[in-house]
Amino acid sequence: MKLAVVGATGLVGQEILKVLEERHVEFDELYLVASAKSVGQKIKFKNKEYVIKSLEETVALVPDIAIFSAGGGTSLEWAPKFAEKGTVVIDNSSAWRMDPTKKLVVPEINGKELTSEDLIIANPNCSTIQMVLALAPLHEKYKIKRVVVSTYQSVTGTGKDAVQQMMEERQGITNGIKVYPHKIDMNALPHIDTFLDNGYTKEEMKMVNETRKILNDQTIGITSTTVRIPTVGGHSEAVNVEFEIDYDLQEVRQILEQTPGVIVQDDVKNNVYPMPILSHGKDEVFVGRLRRDESQPKTLNMWIVSDNLRKGAATNAVQIAEFLMEKSLVS
């Protein structure tokens, strides 16, 4: 088994390496790949030093699996080149997510749809992954009619420079790095990714389109507002779900408690509910504040939190790789 990690020096790339080590993923050879300026540098992984390779060098080595976390442009250019060699690419960017010929995969939900013919597999957006993992079993039971979601997303979703901007602002540095159009520390920006002609951002439309694709249901009504806040632990979401079939709140709780990858934290009498600071470094999706929407029937309110670098990116990608290995879908 030859495994490549493309974008190994970035926040998600570094997290992928942590997840590979923690989950004891077995491989014979590991290729760490990054941009031209990083080629030749060394990264230590499991007490061994690896020299950063170029994409050109790595594609010629024909890895069995390549996990990409290097941006959409790199993925559009290089994923097909790897796939032509027979490498299975698991891509963390938005490049292939809405391509009708590519599968958008959360293993617990639709991993079973993967075949040996899937050479480019899309990893969903971080905020989408955590929401659909909680919604999927409820959709199966009650059929979702409409979702209204507001997100509160960590600066880590933007990358290393965004974390640096926040930390510099926190230290009073006024002429430091500038990733966001406004100050982020002690602020909230209702602006993630670029604005589209319809007034929504790309991030907001990702949640709409990706959720429908993953749940395989284009009839679900979805509207989203995504907000960047000065946290580093993970993304939070206030989700309002209207069902076709009425539900029992206790049954909803039981369904979620039995869902792989979901942990219910919902004991408000003791101030127990999901928070980014508690999700940091964990692979699970945490759900709480379960309650009926008293303004209309068959509608549920829930609060969903997950580490966006873990289940929202690195862990989900590694789980796809594990699934491919387990089902012998790679050589």
Any idea which residue has 């007034």 for tokens?
A: 199
Q: What is residue 121's three-state secondary structure? A: strand
Beta strands, E only, 71-136: 88-91, 103-104, 120-122
Question: Of 24, 139, 182, 235, which residue is the catalytic one?
Answer: 235
CB 130 within 8 A of CB 313: no
Judging by DSSP bridges, how do beta strands 221-228 and 144-153 pair with one another?
A: parallel
Q: Exposed, middle or buried by CB within 10 Å (0-12, 13-18, 19+), for 278? A: middle
CB 75 within 8 A of CB 93: yes
Residue 94 carries which side chain, given as an amino acid letter?
S
C-alpha 59/C-alpha 88 separation (Å) is: 11
CB 65 within 8 A of CB 329: no
Query: Among this protein's residues, is 126 annotated catalytic?
Result: yes
Query: Among this protein's residues, is 191 annotated catalytic?
Result: no
Question: Of 126, 139, 182, 191, which residue is the catalytic one?
Answer: 126
3-state helix, strand, coil in the chain (%, to 5): 35, 25, 40
- Catalytic site residues? 126, 235
